[in-house]
Structure 1
Amino acid sequence: MPEASLSSPLPEGSIIGILGGGQLGRMTAIAAAELGYRCHVYAPEGDAPACDVAAFSTRADYDDGAALAGFAAAVDTVTSEFENVPAEAMEAIALNAPVSPGAAALRTAQHRIAEKTLARSLGIATPDFAPVNRASDITAPLNGMAHGAILKTCRLGYDGKGQASISTAAEAEAAFDGLKSDDCILEERIDFQAEASFLIARSADGRIAHFPATINAHKGGILSTSVAPADAETLPPPLLRAGQDAVEALARHLELVGVLAMESFITGSGLVFNEIAPRPHNSFHWTIEGAETSQFAQLVRAITGLPLGSTGAMGRWQMDNILGEDMDRLDAAMGEAGAFIHRYGKAAARPGRKMAHITRQISD
């Protein structure tokens, strides 16, 4: 079957399959239950908090053909909670169940060169970049990058992992060897004022809904705080429209059903594309309390054929990530009026691991 295409909404009680057992799957399953659906989570990992809130679960590897076939036969539609599910697994499931996002969208989002090449083809500004398969590939493009560069693995880099900063050619070999991959990308370092993220929902019939844009701050390469809606001083209306047009063009090109997030840098000359994710995004967790329809409910609506909900913000909100080293902040917020706490149900708190988030309304 192709990517999800529904002539009528799935009836109440239908089963949504979710590939991946992390916090995004967990919050999607909670939203699905509120809309009358049950979820079946497929995850290879033992610590899979999404399974705790799902009606059914399968623990198996993504290359287990029999398990994938059984999973597909047991559900009515399938989505993924993260973009690094093997595209081959999604293709296998698509033989027996509607899927969204499809394998083509996953392949694009899984590879940094593929996503930036697509963005450029649609007229979206990106950093200068070059493919790197060996350390000697770095020197020539680096010479043309005025602000230095970031060397990244093309696959699997997340939350600051799989990358190294390079300012001079002398640093190239050590940086390349440290990444332990021969499939890399050299990206020009961007002198940016802030990072903005954009989120769009798209239904099977092509209808779209934009969420208010979010302004993000990071620590150690990991998202720390998101504030939304973005203020007009940081993200002026022309840049807001440009970002929304860009993420819409990407969603339409990918024929995506579900939600698509795009991270962009705000610079003195406009927006510069960073990356996409065809799934709910950390920077839009504020929508659970702060938007008329959360990103998770909107994903469920899109893949089940329900009408897309209103995405209006109900005030201005701040979301703070709680990492393994921040658990004291979580404890302190438990008695705080107006603090909405979302624990992810993970068994072990480790430094850099996302354990929870806290959302607060900061203005009407």
Structure 2
Amino acid sequence: MNKKLPLNPGEMLGMMGGGQLGRMFAIEAAYMGYHVTVLEPGEMPPAAEVSLKHIAEPYLSESGLDRLARESSAVSTEFENVPAQALNRLAKETFVAPPGNAVAVAQDRNAEKHFIETSAHVPVAPHCQISSEQDIEAADESLFPAILKTARLGYDGKGQVLVDDREQLREAFTTLNKVDCILEKRLKLFKEVSVIVARSYNGQTATFPVCENRHRNGILAVTVMPARISETISDQARQYATQIVDALNYVGVLCVEFFVLEDGTLVANEMAPRPHNSGHATIDACWSNQFEQQLRCMTGQPLADTTQHSAAVMLNLLGDIWFDGENHREPDWSSVLAIPGVKLHLYGKAQARKARKMGHVTCLGKTIQEALQRAQDVAKVLGLPEPQ
């Protein structure tokens, strides 16, 4: 199709992936008068429920990709494991943001670490590649204790094993089926934070306020925005995120996760080439949100104001709260919605399963303390650990 940017409202936009991030993008697109076609295998995924068209084909289906390219003025993606070759095929016929080469970097942790450190000049944790028994023997002793991660396809804590020494490393490498891995030194953390950054096709960039993240069982549980860190560290994180998107020549929305160490040092952990769970509070707490920025990037429109107008605490809602033991129950939404400043977002997933992301709640306030108190009240209703 290869239409000239900017693309005005009324155009059809393509979305690779039909999960909750695609759903929230499609809702945002509808607000601004655009239409969305989702390519996602399976019947009625969350994004298809709110999109004009649904192509129920695999991500590498030539017929599905050709149809999506033919019918869409631009295409984006909602999860990082969309095959980069699919994006490259689409790019032959239509505008794709983010580009396949940038997504490919983020899909391999070894390539990602190397790029962030050497091309973007942003510090990362000490690490080495583990792809063979020889690599295990060559690993520097100073890396232990460490964490071994699969280089590809890991998310929400999957594909990761803590190791204290070389013998545990051997066992972990076998446990992970001896696929390509990365060994990272475990650092003494003060906080985990993230930055949502957008970059347009003409190089304009914008960052949202830094988010402070807490995980349970490897899955994001709570986000506080803005992060409770110094202004100096916050500015540094936003600058580092900008350096990374510029070095990638990126177009679209990128999330960069950072570790704030006990000594105040900031190191990049990993990046996700799409909107991110930790950025959901932007929907209710900022003048624009990460999905609007994604839309503006792929259509060539100017980026939006990222100013935060309300303090926010976001709680992830996993399928566990739909169960009392093994018995299904519906959460008490009326009591949740009776709490002032609460915004409920459910993702339209047909079946609740334990550890499955089903939605989120954003609690707003004039101050972080007020938002936090409201989040604690929500947690009590839903039987979640109270955020601190």
How does the TM-score come out when normalised to structure 2? 0.88
8 Å Cα contact 2:97/2:297 also seen in 1 = no
- Relative to structure 1, the CA distance from residue 357 to residue 240 in structure 2 (aligned partners, 3 Å threshold; closer, same or farther) is same
8 Å Cα contact 1:323/1:351 also seen in 2 = yes
* More contact order relative to length (CA 8 Å, sep ≥ 6): 1
8 Å Cα contact 2:200/2:300 also seen in 1 = yes
8 Å Cα contact 1:138/1:186 also seen in 2 = no
The CA distance in 2 between the partners of 1:104 and 1:8, in whole Å, is 21
The CA distance in 2 between the partners of 1:19 and 1:255, in whole Å, is 21
The CA distance in 2 between the partners of 1:74 and 1:341, in whole Å, is 33
Please give the secondary structure, in 1, of the residue aligned with 2:117. helix
Q: Would you say 1:251 and 2:280 are equivalent positions?
A: no
- For residue 129 of structure 2, what is the aligned residue in structure 1? 131
- For residue 286 of structure 1, what is the aligned residue in structure 2? 281
8 Å Cα contact 1:21/1:45 also seen in 2 = no
- For residue 30 of structure 1, what is the aligned residue in structure 2? 27
8 Å Cα contact 1:47/1:347 also seen in 2 = no
Matched letter for residue 238 of structure 2: Q
Q: 1:92 aligns with which of 86, 89, 93?
A: 89
**What are the residue-to-residue correspondences of 1:147-186 with 2, within 5 Å?**
148-186=145-183
8 Å Cα contact 2:341/2:365 also seen in 1 = no
RMSD, aligned CA: 1.7
**What are the residue-to-residue correspondences of 1:209-248 with 2, within 5 Å?**
209-231=206-228, 235-248=229-242
Deviations 1:166-217 (Å, cap 9, x if unpaired)? 0122212321122124211111112110001011111111111111101000
- For residue 255 of structure 2, what is the aligned residue in structure 1? 261
What percentage of aligned pairs have identical amino acids?
A: 38
Matched letter for residue 103 of structure 2: L
Q: Would you say 1:311 and 2:314 are equivalent positions?
A: no
- Relative to structure 1, the CA distance from residue 181 to residue 78 in structure 2 (aligned partners, 3 Å threshold; closer, same or farther) is farther
- For residue 113 of structure 1, what is the aligned residue in structure 2? 110
Question: Which runs of no fewer than 5 residues in structure 2 stay unpaired?
Answer: 323-329, 368-388
Deviates more, 1:38-47 or 1:154-163: 38-47
The CA distance in 2 between the partners of 1:181 and 1:32, in whole Å, is 43
- For residue 358 of structure 2, what is the aligned residue in structure 1? 355
The CA distance in 1 between the partners of 2:69 and 2:230, in whole Å, is 45
Please give the secondary structure, in 1, of the residue aligned with 2:189. coil
8 Å Cα contact 1:40/1:57 also seen in 2 = yes
**How far has the Cα of 1:269 moved from its partner?**
4.3
**How far has the Cα of 1:80 moved from its partner?**
0.3
